[in-house]
Amino acid sequence: MKRGHLSPLLLRIMEFKEQVISLLNQAFEKRPDLFLIDFSIGSDSHIEVVIDGDSGVTVEDCVEVSRAVEHNLDREVHDFSLSVQSAGATAPLTLARQFPKHIGRNLKVTVQNDSFEGELIEANPSQITLQWSERIPKEVGKGKQTVIRKEIIQLSDINKAHVVLTF
């Protein structure tokens, strides 16, 4: 549908969303270590922003991104609320950029009909490598032996990946 055929309300909402996206892009240009994970604007004009960072996200990072948006929108024109938060420790890893900072941590990764849990030992823009130890029956004799397993997983094959928290 072309903009000329949109209702004035829908057009105003689309322009508001484009303005918020532009402000977020400007904030991330100033802070290239931060990046957008998710963004939405609800029907009640609540702006929800989820960010991550190459070295994690602090409260100050969230405040900085929030101010970059909030201070550049006119509340006389748009009545909105805004929340900026980090992806969090239990949030799924969805972008290639999120994996390198988790090297050395245990991940659970689901691909099609299989899942793997192990230490993330390598990550690049196209794939990750998980490693874990496993007890298997000895080839000769009784008992079991411990073997090290590795799985190279293409990021494009991942259905879900998240950090396994241990306490």
pLDDT band at 44; cut points 50, 70, 90: confident
- Tens of pLDDT, residues 2-31: 555 678 877 888 888 999 999 999 999 999
Q: How far apart are CA 159 and CA 115, in angstroms?
A: 10
DSSP, collapsed to helix, strand or coil, labels residue 27 as helix
Range 136-164 average pLDDT: 93
DSSP, collapsed to helix, strand or coil, labels residue 130 as strand
% of the chain with per-residue pLDDT over 70: 97
40 beta partners: 48
* Residue 76: pLDDT over 90: no
Range list of β-strands (E), the chain: 34-41, 46-53, 81-86, 106-111, 114-123, 127-137, 144-154, 158-163
Range 38-47 average pLDDT: 90
- Tens of pLDDT, residues 86-132: 988 889 999 999 999 999 999 999 999 899 999 999 999 999 999 99
pLDDT band at 162; cut points 50, 70, 90: very high
Return the pLDDT at 8.
Answer: 80
Return the pLDDT at 2.
Answer: 55
Strand order of the β-sheet with 46-53 is: 34-41, 46-53, 81-86
Return the pLDDT at 61.
Answer: 97
Q: How far apart are CA 111 and CA 101, in angstroms?
A: 21
Range 73-90 average pLDDT: 89
Return the pLDDT at 4.
Answer: 56
For 124, the enclosing helix (H) or strand (E) is: none
Q: Would the pTM of this model clear 0.95, i.e. be above it?
A: no
